[in-house]
Structure 1
Amino acid sequence: MAVFGTNDAKVLMPRNIADGMVKASKTLSTVARLSPREPQRFGTTDYITFNDIPKMEFVEEGADKASQGTSFGSVTAKPHKGQVTLRFNEEVQWLDEDYQLGILREVADAGQTALSRGLDLGLVHRINPLTGTVINGWDNYVTATTKRVVRSAGVDADAEVRAAVGLLVNDSKTVNGFAIDPKLSWDLAGLQALSGGQPTGTPRYPGLGFGTDITDFLGIPSAQGDTVSGLPEAAADTRVRGIVGDFQNGIRWGVQRELPVEIIRYGDPDGQGDLKRKNQIALRLEIVYGWYVFANRFAVIEEAAA
């Protein structure tokens, strides 16, 4: 049976391909590597928060038990729909099934990269990956934090990381993750041990190698990726080089809908011209993320404005 039937409007991607796509998407995203995905229903999802942390009381035998005042609040994770549309010559419909499955694998390869980078760019920067521009209507994203360390000439990169961690620790916030741009990891890997205030030629952090795949820095789980800076999708460099913070509890995100691949045979679904006129079909892959970010639980390391 052909994968691209002439009458079907939807195609269910073969399970082995779909599972691989979801798995690879997770390994490509810095957010997904540091922050656990959780189940979410479609639509807005409310999370209950304590405004005052409850405290246990030790009670002596026969003594009265005291109560304490507390209050509840809530935050809302909103859905964000993403899509990838790819065009092919319509002759693909007439090819054998093995070749059509190969096309689906290509779609999966492109989709896993696009979907994982889209999660980072939206949740961290509120950037639309296709246009590279900021989505002004979004007000909940990681880099909205006011805790920021601006890099300075002559200051070692590890001192700047410590300064960012200090902003959180001194505000009683937890640090359990470090998203790092390759430019910053290269700087960290290039630092030399000092003796008498002078470089010794010995790497200060030999475990970093060339800084090409950092998974841990000074005991903090780390994930490296160029989505930290927003490039190359961003219309302009965000100047962000590192993000430290509470990735375990400061981000609540999940996939609300993993939609099948849609076959589009008519119209102009992406502004690139009429499909029938161009003898093309389009395949569209969609996903719905939901997330909420507690931005005050994160600190940003960034380059100074030019």
Structure 2
Amino acid sequence: MPLETFMKSCSVDQPPRSLTRHLTIQRLREQVIQFILFACALLSIVTTVGIIYILVAESIVGVGGNTAYFEEVSPWEFFTGTEWTPQFTDPQYGVLPLLSGTLLIAGIAAMIGLPIGLASAIYLSEFASTRTRNFIKPILEILAGIPTVVYGYFALVFVTPYVLRPIFQDLLGFEVDIFNAASAGIVVGIMIIPMVSSLSEDTLRAIPRSLREAGYALGSTKFDVSTKIVLPAAISGILSSFLLAISRAVGETMAVTIAAGQAPNLTMNPFRSVQTMTSYIVNVSLGDTPVGSMSYKSLYAIALTLFCMTLTMNFLSHLIMRRFREVYE
């Protein structure tokens, strides 16, 4: 055999058929995986678009020849009215009582959950040993796994009769209702602690070690390094975790339905019974409200308002993260 012919038969430019078949199968497998991942991402987008379409169609546009909610109730009356009685003989459609109840409970939850969650994150990230962190962090994660209905009953049978009433009613003279915003806000604040702690700790631990060592080299204590160097450097992620946690508190349903009651009172008194937007949605969704009635249509108007609130908070969290984000090499 000529040498040239032998060299051509042994050339690496001609891969074996088995290798070509393997590469083809591998390439096809990667394309299938890529398509599945794309379908999953597309499913979330389609679901969001579907939710927005249903809320807008039922509350603003109207579908199937039926009038929309805001075609019968003016937006001015809806957003400025101080009474919410859509199921009464003389119905009133002012959303302010539901909005105030939602913000009151979210505010109480924020005052409890945000500082405790941030303090927990700072301790776990900067002060706790590895053994202590491995012991405490799973306990915090357990709080996130407890069903919200359990939190609601905990507020009703323990927080109100054994915490709020002995302190604020028996000692200080405030009247505390059985269903009240304070107990609901306390348990919702406990619920958002794991979210704030986990997200904030991840942000704090992402800060480069060199910043801490520079602070120690200048004679700073561990507390000074944690509060004056690491904390400001992680402010974007911490603020984002705060907004996400507040958004979670605004959208909480079962805990506030059980603990806060279903009385749409326009009040800032945390010891009175209030109704949130989510608890009203639960009340309407029980099946006793006729389909097509104004009470039924108000469900979509409340849901659209709540959706816009949570969407705005999530949007603000992204803006804050982009505005204050620090990039380290």
TM normalised by structure 1 equals 0.26
Higher-Rg structure is: 2
Question: Which has the larger share of helix?
Answer: 2
